[in-house]
Amino acid sequence: MTMLQDKSIIVTGASSGIGRAAALLFAAEGARLVIVARRAEPLDTVAREIKAKGGEVVVCPGDVTEPETHNRAVAAALDSFGRLDGAFNNAGAVIAMKPLAEHSLDDWIATLDCNLTSAFLAVCAQVPAMMETGGGSLVFTSTFVGNSVGIPGMGAYGVAKSGLSGLVKALAADYAYRGIRANALLAGGTDTPAAGSEENKAWAAGLHPVRRIARPEEIAGAALLLLSDLSSFVIGSELWADGGNAATKVQAQG
């Protein structure tokens, strides 16, 4: 028996990076997936990889800042698999890199929409569906930025991501007794397209005591734990998957 056998799971931001790694891992662990991202072509590529290995997957292109995207993803899970057991709400982005007071209002709103309001919209669509069948697990990708440390130029992003910690606590208060588990996954620097240049990756590696950034598969593995029944008493928490970043603020050398 695999860790997500026959569970119906939504993964957002599934076209690349952590979301892609998570979709492939969850499928290997027996999940039946609805994968969501804005770009349809790379999303289709992920789906083909899953199907080639015998997995079940439905593609649902869309923007997570729009309520209709989440409604369609939930409907796809119910129509295709008869239920919704969990979601890895992973999509997010750094909209603008600049000192906080230099952000335009549009920058601020777009950052909150992409990283925090999108999570609220996911909750509104996903929680009712999961309660219909006795509950499930929600995992939200957060980060050390704004939680253990601020980084210059990433203030709005940090504010939005830190809000996810409050979100999972609110969900615990409102829905834990209904069988809904919600947790935030606080990732360290990860080798994804969003990580930028090799120089940027090397700088980020120095912030982690392990002297490297994560592989996407390592963050996906932490999400797998939170979605599985092995974490059945983990509710409203923040799981650090950051290579020890939160344990030190001294940049490692050598």
Q: What is the pLDDT of residues 95-124, one digit of tens each?
A: 999 999 999 999 999 999 999 999 999 999
Task: Report whether pLDDT(87) > 90.
Answer: yes
User: Which residues, 6 or more positions from 91, have their beta carbon under 8 angstroms from its beta carbon?
Assistant: 12, 13, 19, 36, 37, 64, 114, 118, 141
**pLDDT tier, 254 (very low <50, low <70, confident <90, very high otherwise):** very low
Average pLDDT, rounded, for the chain: 93
Query: From CA 194, how far away is CA 178, in angstroms rounded?
Result: 36
Say if CB 236 and CB 183 are below 8 A apart: yes
CB atoms within 10 A of CB 226: 23
User: What integer pLDDT is reported at residue 175 of this predicted model?
Assistant: 98
Distance of CA 138 to the CA centre of its chain: 9
User: Which residues, 6 or more positions from 175, have their beta carbon under 8 angstroms from its beta carbon?
Assistant: 127, 131, 182
Q: Which listed residue (157, 158, 162, 220) is catalytic?
A: 157
User: Which residues, 6 or more positions from 30, have their beta carbon under 8 angstroms from its beta carbon?
Assistant: 1, 2, 3, 4, 5, 6, 7
User: What integer pLDDT is reported at residue 150 of this predicted model?
Assistant: 83
157 a catalytic residue: yes
Length of the chain: 254
The full set of domains in the chain, from first to last, is 8-247 (3.40.50.720)
User: What integer pLDDT is reported at residue 23 of this predicted model?
Assistant: 98
What radius of gyration do the chain's Cα atoms show?
A: 17
pTM: 0.94
Among 58-72, 111-125, 193-207, 225-239, which is the least confidently predicted range? 193-207
Token reading at 133: 């069948």
